[in-house]
Structure 1
Amino acid sequence: MQELKKDWWKDEVIYQIYPKSFNDSNGDGIGDLNGIRQKLPYLKELGVTMIWICPIFKSPMHDNGYDIADYEGIDPQFGTMADFDLLLEDANKMDIKIILDLVVNHTSDEHEWFQKALADKNSKYRDYYIFKEGKERPNNWRSQFGGSAWEKVEGEDVYYLHLFGKEQPDLNWENPELRQEIYAMINRWLEKGVAGFRIDSITFIKKDQDFASLPADGADGLVSCKSKTRNRPGIGEFLNELKRETFEKYNCITVGEASGVDYQDYEEFIGKDGYFSMIFDFHYADIDVESGTDWFKRSHWQVKDFKALLEQSQETIQKAGWAANFIENHDQPRALSKLVHKDYQNTNSACGIAALYFFLRGTPFIYQGQELGMLNAERTHIDEFDDISSIDNFYRGMAEGYSEKEALHFVNLRSRDNTRTPMPWNNEKFGGFSQNQPWLEMTQEYPKINTQNSIVLNFYKKMVDLRQTSEISSILINGTIEFLSNVPENVIAYVREYQNERVYSFTNLGTNVEEITWPKEIEQLFVDTHENESDKAKNVLLPYQSVLFK
């Protein structure tokens, strides 16, 4: 491969793979590494230049691989290290880079370090995690997945901290020896040839060392752990050291899952000397709920709210550094179900919301199935859910006074299982994902939405092509962004400019036909998501219509 320039990742289009649900090559109902390898030609044809693979490491799968038992072993359900090496080799031949999910806030409770910590309270591994002595829990912090963030150690008056599931004990980043072990592991992966990492829950690695309780914020008498454990003072020392000891040596890409970072701190995270290449901004992604973790607190948002958040996000990031633009991932519901009114959830609208985000300033991320315009699954009983967070939110919703039906409704809207359903490759039983019953029910048993003759898929190919290889590529990759204010409330419009060349994006995110005054006469139209329905002579945008023009 050719030598990469310093900020090479600005030119990429990244495709996120949830390996368990992408493609099953051996008929066990679980997607695997060889399944990904079989679909590399599909990804190449789509036009993506990099794939991000969710965790494939050895894991008991309490949180679908985000509970890692061995950072340098492949989980048998996904294959072997030899399978990974083959995937890496074949992807390189197609000029497709691979990044992995890095989870270093916590491990699995089955990790060797934690097992040694439990076996001997005097071993050095006890200090690799956060243990507190006492007959009572150290404080009233609630974990991200519900319930106390402290779990008692059997046979001892000792508790350990887990900000996520109880099977995911938090690592003690205050311990310098632990940090060096983590850095050495990261460097071995980079030596192997991965292009970098998406870094999970990284803003949780610094905890307030007073471990103090706070006033309860829920019916359970507990308080969200976030205000004492997320993006806390002193985290910068850890993140600078992490970058210096690993990423900086390899010219790799780093994408931080940096929830809870104030806009005023973005320069530290993604500026010229920032910790990461880019970070995900969840301010607009979590528009539908008041809190990313309490799904029963619905926000009843309007387009003007979404527009204001998107504008603030893009303008802040433009000043500070580079954006990772997304509308779906493995923790979010399907964008078409979330952003579009039920009566308009169709092919055209899927293209409309795609064009709205894809041409923003930054690197676009596509999550598997998003390029087909997939919708949320509708489940009728809590037993049909696999996601640990969905189950917690169902019972918490009822504890907060909602009926079983209401609690199930909230979970259906927001469940992480919505985007974790198996990828539909065709309209056969199990959607061509597997010959046998998949690990999680399909969104539809004989999917109407699949990769065969998909209008939305062809539209994504066109968008990727426009960004990567067209006459306006340099504008879409390098251009500045400015949002236009003299448009109707439900219209989101922005201009991208580079070397005095401009392209305009207009999207109607509402259900009414909106009258538009175009900034200038349309010279060249690159995208019109409703071209078969709209009349170019009229100055209107149909519901969920998006246009890109010069």
Structure 2
Amino acid sequence: MNKKWWKESVVYQIYPRSFKDSNGDGIGDLKGIIEKLDYLKELGIDVIWLSPIYKSPNDDNGYDISDYRDIMDEFGSLEDFDVLLDEAHKRNIKIIMDLVVNHTSDEHRWFIESKKSVDNKFRDYYVWKNGKDGQPPNNWGSFFSGSTWEYDEETEMYYLHLFSKKQPDLNWENNEVRNSVYDMMKWWLDKGIDGFRMDVINMISKVQTFPDGPKEENASYGDIVPYAINGPRVHEFLKEMHKEVLSKYDIMTVGETPAVSPEDVLKYAGENEEELNMVFHFEHMDLGFGPEGKWSNLGFKLTELKGILTKWQKALENDGWNSLYWDNHDQPRAVSRFGNDKEYWLESAKMLGTCLHMMKGTPYIFQGEEIGMTNVAFDNIEDYRDIETLNSYEELVEKKGKNKEEMMQAIHDRSRDNARTPMQWDDSENAGFTLGEPWIKVNPNYININAKAQIDDKDSIFNYYKKLISIRKEYPIVVYGRYDLILEESEKIYAYTRTLDNEKLLVICNFTEKETLFQTPSDINTNSQKLIISNYDVFNHDLTNIVLRPYETRVYLLQI
């Protein structure tokens, strides 16, 4: 059992723009985060992951960085950051930063120089190519729709951008680029931060022949995944990063890695690979995708969800480490997606928290998840701010003729803005987020769903999450126990065990709004049992036959 502090931690992700505004400009900021550190200490979390706070023109909400060593004006100053870091550390809360080094902003000084001429010393910091017969260098399609290539009239060449045209990709083949990135990372680590979450880190290496991607019939662009994800030199680059930077500090590293298999992840985050501590995969997030990706929202079966999560639990059982999450800044709210955010909002939010936090891995809580914040359904596309949502609406509705009402429903279900509405602190105007006009509208249900209403309510989702976190600290089995799925074929119940030495946890979760019979498998000894958490009052502990109420969850500690 290889014990590490980051395995035993619970991480809380803050999307600073939407967390807490301290100066009334409608945008969350660093001083706002400082104001709420005691709230996070009360919750019991160990680590804050800050979504990008660097200087940025905000084309993609801070994931387009113009200066890696300064703070976005709206968020405050480097001095504010130093205070935040110091105040967090006083409360035994660590801080990890978002590292965005697949691309920069087109307003970064490197790119400004790179554009000036083909002979500029920064030219090779980015990927520049000649077109073919008046067309881009290849058929790759951007993740934000359109081509991945943008023509520059000044030098009559194209530059690569896997995301927005204002996010040109760095050329990691260039040693100077890599060394510049490593110097920047050391600068932040020497300030005292505790690690990095690395944005799309498995995209930093591209196939250098830049061939056309496979193209489906009627598709406008080719698929970039085979040539721009898990590329030929990605492990070489990450091993170099580990040697030059990461190995010199006791820190936490987690990579965002779309389109990976468990076999891939063991290369990125195997115990002896000397790359990363863990990664985020997206397989469970892609459930329900269809011909229009997430905008199709075809639904899914519980057996599919269980199959995916179990596959990852077993694949990383003896090597690597799982990141556990339902929500983040790019995903809809879990209680709206996997639970029932109406009649059984309270019960299903608690059940989902239990199902995730009792698994093996490091749990991540996204701001507002601990109070059961839900998806929002704005009536007008003009109320949305997310570039991916707006581009997809234009592409699918205005260019391809998709039904407007269907697309708006898809946006209500899946838009990244579901996660980005302001944190709901209390029932005052704008949910206590700001005294000004918020940069994006507040979810109207803040009147009923807010932190103030829950902190002193012993039956609240907040206090339930607080208990889940405390259980993790109290019982090593929650961190290090072996995971085994039971009732594999059930479309109603997600149940599993965790086993460590002479103890076993039995975790039972009803994913339906109906009463459902649970029968403990005969090979599980229930003679010695202790209920350690549940979302309903429990009076009958006969585990032979349990009639589970809607979205009921229970966790029992058993002696083997």
TM-score range, shorter chain: over 0.9
Residues 218 and 535 of structure 1, relative CA distance in 2, 3 Å threshold: farther
**Distance in 2 (alpha carbons) for counterparts of 1:161 and 1:220:** 20
Does the 8 A contact of 1:105 with 1:170 survive in 2?
yes
1:335 aligns with 2:334: yes
Does the CA contact (< 8 Å) of 2:115 and 2:154 recur in 1? no
Structure 1 residues 90 and 343: alpha-carbon distance in aligned structure 2, compared to 1, 3 A threshold = closer
Q: 1:136 to 1:220 in 2, by over 3 A?
A: same
Taking the aligned partners of 2:530 and 2:3, their CA distance within structure 1 comes to 33
Instruction: After superposition, give the CA deviation of every residue in 1:288-309 in whole Å (9 maximum; x if it has no partner).
Output: 3248x82223232111111111
Q: Which residue of 2 aligns with 1:483?
A: 485
The 2-side partners of 1:343 and 1:77 are apart by 35
Deviation of the 1:267 alpha carbon? 1.7
Cα distance change on mapping 1:6 and 1:462 into 2, 3 Å: closer
Does the CA-based 8 Å contact 1:481-1:495 persist in structure 2? yes
Give 2:511's aligned residue: 509
Equivalent residue of 2:495, what SS? strand
Segments of 5+ residues of structure 1 without an aligned counterpart are none
Which of 44, 47, 51 is residue 50 of structure 1 equivalent to? 47
Distance 1:344 1:273 in 2: 48
C-alpha distance in 2, partners of 1:95/1:342? 34
Paired residue secondary structure (1:349): helix
**Does 1:20 find its partner at 2:27?**
no
The equivalent of 2:384 in structure 1 is 385
Q: Counterpart in 2 of 1:528?
A: 534
1:302-381 to 2 correspondence within 5 Å? 302-341=301-340, 344-381=343-380
- More off after superposition, 153-162 vs 10-19: 153-162
1:416 paired residue number: 416
**Is 391-400 or 103-112 further displaced after alignment?**
391-400
Out of 461, 481, 485, the residue aligned to residue 456 of structure 1 is 461
Question: In the aligned structure 1, how far is the partner of 2:141 from the partner of 2:165?
Answer: 11
Q: Are the equivalent residues in 2 in contact too, given 1:429–1:446 (CA < 8 A)?
A: no
Q: Give the structure-1-normalised TM-score.
A: 0.95
Q: Structure 1 residues 221 and 539, CA, compared in 2 at 3 Å: closer, same or farther?
A: same
Provide closer, same or farther for how the CA distance between residues 49 and 446 of structure 1 changes in structure 2, counting only shifts above 3 A: closer
**2:267 counterpart of 1:272:** no
CA change 1:260–1:373 in 2 (3 A) is: same
Deviations 1:449-497 (A, max 9, x none): 00023210010011111111x2xx2111121211113673321111111
Structure 1: 4+ residue segments shifted above 4 A: 341-345, 534-538
- 1:403: Cα distance to partner? 0.5
Match in the other structure for 1:68: 65
**1:285 to partner: Cα distance:** 2.3
Deviation at 1:40, TM superposition (A): 0.5
Return closer, same or farther for 1:290/1:255 CA change in 2, 3 Å cut-off.
farther
1:465 aligns with 2:470: yes
| Partner residue, 2:457 | none
Q: How does 1:438-457 map to 2 (within 5 A)?
A: 438-444=438-444, 446-454=446-454, 455-457=460-462
RMSD, aligned CA:
1.8
Aligned length: 541
Select which of 97, 118, 121 maps to 1:121: 118
Partner SS for 1:409: helix
Q: SS in structure 2 opposite 1:255? A: strand
Q: Which amino acid counterpart does residue 49 of structure 2 have in structure 1? A: W
Counterpart amino acid of residue 433 in structure 2? F
Deviation for aligned residue 1:357: 0.5
- Answer yes or no: is the 8 Å Cα contact 1:288–1:299 preserved in 2: yes
Q: Deviations over 1:242-293 (max 9, x none)?
A: 11111111121101001112222222111112311111121112223248x8
- Corresponding residue of 1:187: 186
Counterpart residue identity of residue 148, structure 2: A
CA distance in 1, matches of 2:535, 2:314: 26
Paired residue secondary structure (1:189): helix
* 3-state secondary structure, aligned to 1:525: strand
- Whole-angstrom distance in 2 between the partners of 1:465 and 1:250: 27
Q: Which amino acid aligns with 2:68?
A: Y
Which residue of 2 is the match for residue 207 of structure 1? 206
Deviation at 1:136, TM superposition (A): 2.0
Q: Which amino acid aligns with 1:515?
A: L
Q: Higher mean Cα deviation, 87-96 or 315-324? A: 315-324
1:128–1:175 CA contact under 8 A, matched in 2: yes
Residue pairs, 1:246-285, within 5 angstroms: 246-274=245-273, 275-285=275-285
Contact 1:281-1:313 within 8 A present in 2 as well: no
> What residue in structure 2 maps to residue 549 of structure 1?
556
Change (3 A) 1:487 1:261: closer
Residue by residue, what CA displacement relative to the aligned partner does 1:125-171 show, whole Å, maximum 9, x if unpaired?
11000001233210111100000100011333211000000000000
Residue type at the aligned position of 2:422: P
Aligned mates of 1:342, 1:75 — CA distance in 2: 34
Tell me the distance in 2 between the aligned counterparts of 1:509 and 1:48. Answer: 26
SS state at 2:447 partner: coil
* Secondary structure, aligned partner of 2:318: helix
Q: Distance in 2 between matches of 1:418 and 1:50?
A: 23
Once the 2 structures are TM-superposed, how far is the Cα of residue 123 of structure 1 from its aligned partner? 1.1
